[in-house]
């Protein structure tokens, strides 16, 4: 929230380049160091096109693999370094939000920040993170820096949250047509219980904005929200447990807690299993997402956690409610469903191209896309099998044995899976998946 305001202010200074990236731990596409570099480079070249040759030179040598293969970090690091050393580079601000949510190759990213911050005087870095010791220790090496600890600037944070509360209350008053007394009561309650937390205010206001909350019930509803995020999340889980669809909601929350990227509604419906007569009714699934107590949100057909803290709460504080059989079991459920989805979906020439040698750049995705239900599964099924094996306690994984589910799938669908990976531009992930599967097989058979 605060970095968004900083970015907006810096953008008003038109002489500067402002490149930024928001890490999100729940999304494997934007929770790694390579994605951070890719995003920063894109915005820099978009704002100053004269920098494009630095990318073009490397792209001409490596092709698309520059951005996607296993060596992408090193290639992009070289491109990034050349951009920062370009004598024509304008005064630049590089902003990274949520270093603690960079799950993959965080040490590489921290080393790069420390190294480049001392080499390029025209470039200023602004980074944010939770107070994690490993991050603080590595950034401490940087020469010139200013460390701002929000916990030590309570007055500034409190003032910012107060402004945000007034803004949200004004929106609610207009939407719900509050009278003056109701408006003042809502603002007072939020100010007294927010504990200077933007997210708590946002979640409570989202609940109050629900069309099912009548104006006359506003104050009673407001008083039912406890202080603190964990307490609020716990109350949401209590509400979920009281629903007729409680088991289904918990199943959805369990899937959302273990997937490696936010899944589309279509992907979720297949991973979650059967709803009987309502399997194809996406409206019903939207209602189920809406019933998950503001822990989840739906944006453009994709299911997200409202915040990383919601996922952390489910895995750390509510795992006995949504993962009663353990996280290894849930990974195996997603793995098994993924194999089933792919077995039912994949076939030869699934896009009806009729020409195996056609360039990927000339392929248009059909509408509806026959791969839509299996997109997630094609990329991540081996990852879930790997986690099912690594997190298990003593239960053996029979899927890897001769004539097990993996053997049967690869025997019948391997070529169709490779075809799907190519259409999804996921061949690099497929190579890594096969290497990981080989290690799993060796480990299980020895």
pLDDT, tens digit, 9 for 90 and up, residues 254-292? 999 999 999 999 999 999 976 555 556 778 888 899 888
Output the pLDDT for position 39: 95
Output the pLDDT for position 446: 54
Task: Tell whether the torsion through CA atoms of 291, 292, 295 and 299 is positive or negative.
Answer: negative
Output the pLDDT for position 399: 78
Distance CA 204, CA 281 (A): 29
pTM of the predicted model over 0.95:
no
Higher pLDDT among residues 171 and 140, named by residue = 171
Output the pLDDT for position 150: 67
User: pLDDT digit string (tens) for 154-188?
Assistant: 777 888 889 999 999 999 999 999 999 999 999 99
- Kindly tell me if the per-residue pLDDT of 11 is higher than 80: yes
Q: Who's near 104: CB < 8 A, 6+ residues apart?
A: 28, 31, 32, 33, 34
Task: Tell whether the torsion through CA atoms of 177, 180, 186 and 190 is positive or negative.
Answer: positive
User: Tokens standing for 85?
Assistant: 């050393």
In 3D space, the residue among 381, 401, 383 whose CA is nearest the CA of residue 391 turns out to be 383
Name the average pLDDT for the chain: 88
- Kindly tell me if the per-residue pLDDT of 207 is higher than 70: yes
Higher pLDDT among residues 233 and 151, named by residue = 233
User: pLDDT digit string (tens) for 33-43?
Assistant: 999 999 999 99
- Kindly tell me if the per-residue pLDDT of 395 is higher than 60: no
User: Tokens standing for 363?
Assistant: 């392929």
Distance CA 286, CA 266 (A): 11
* Lowest mean per-residue pLDDT among 135-139, 326-330, 340-344, 418-422: 135-139
In this prediction, residues 91-100 reach a mean pLDDT of 94
Residue 174, judged by CB atoms within 10 A of its CB (0-12, 13-18, 19+), counts as exposed
Output the pLDDT for position 25: 85
């Amino acid at each position: 929230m605060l970095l968004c305001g900083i970015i907006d202010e810096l953008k008003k200074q038109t002489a500067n380049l402002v490149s930024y990236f928001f890490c999100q731990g729940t999304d494997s596409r934007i929770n790694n160091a390579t994605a951070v570099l890719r995003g920063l480079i894109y915005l820099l070249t978009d704002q100053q096109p004269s920098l494009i040759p630095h990318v073009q030179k490397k792209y001409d040598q490596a092709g698309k693999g520059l951005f996607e293969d296993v060596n992408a970090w090193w290639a992009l690091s070289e491109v990034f370094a050349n951009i920062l050393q370009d004598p024509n580079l304008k005064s630049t601000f590089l902003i990274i939000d949520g270093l603690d949510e960079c799950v993959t190759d965080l040490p590489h990213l921290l080393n790069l920040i420390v190294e480049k911050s001392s080499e390029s005087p025209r470039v200023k870095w602004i980074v944010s993170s939770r107070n994690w010791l490993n991050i603080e220790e590595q950034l401490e090496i940087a020469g010139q820096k200013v460390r701002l600890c929000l916990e030590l600037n309570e007055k500034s944070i409190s003032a910012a949250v107060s402004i945000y509360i007034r803004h949200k209350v004004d929106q609610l008053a207009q939407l719900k047509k509050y009278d003056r007394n109701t408006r003042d009561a809502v603002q007072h309650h939020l100010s007294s219980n927010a504990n200077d937390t933007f997210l708590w205010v946002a979640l409570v206001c989202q609940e109050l904005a629900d069309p099912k909350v009548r104006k006359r019930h506003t104050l009673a509803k407001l008083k039912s929200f406890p202080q603190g995020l964990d307490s609020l999340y716990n109350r949401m889980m209590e509400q979920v447990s009281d629903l007729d669809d409680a088991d289904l909601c918990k199943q959805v929350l369990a899937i959302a807690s273990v997937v490696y990227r936010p899944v589309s509604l279509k992907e979720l419906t297949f991973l979650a299993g059967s709803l009987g007569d309502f399997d194809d009714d996406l409206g019903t699934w939207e209602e189920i997402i809406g019933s998950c107590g503001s822990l989840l949100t739906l944006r453009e057909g994709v299911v997200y956690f409202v915040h990383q803290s919601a996922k952390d709460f489910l895995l750390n504080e509510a795992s006995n409610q949504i993962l009663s059989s353990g996280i290894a079991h849930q990974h195996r459920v997603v793995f098994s469903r993924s194999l089933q989805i792919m077995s039912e979906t994949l076939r030869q020439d699934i896009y009806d191209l009729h020409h195996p040698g056609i360039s990927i750049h000339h392929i248009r995705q059909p509408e509806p896309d026959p791969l839509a239900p299996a997109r997630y599964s094609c990329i991540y099924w081996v990852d879930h099998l790997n986690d099912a094996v690594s997190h298990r306690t003593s239960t053996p994984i029979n899927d890897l044995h001769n004539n097990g589910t993996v053997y049967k799938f690869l025997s019948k669908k391997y070529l169709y899976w490779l075809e799907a990976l190519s259409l999804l531009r996921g061949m690099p992930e497929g190579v890594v998946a096969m290497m990981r599967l080989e290690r799993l097989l060796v480990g299980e058979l020895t």
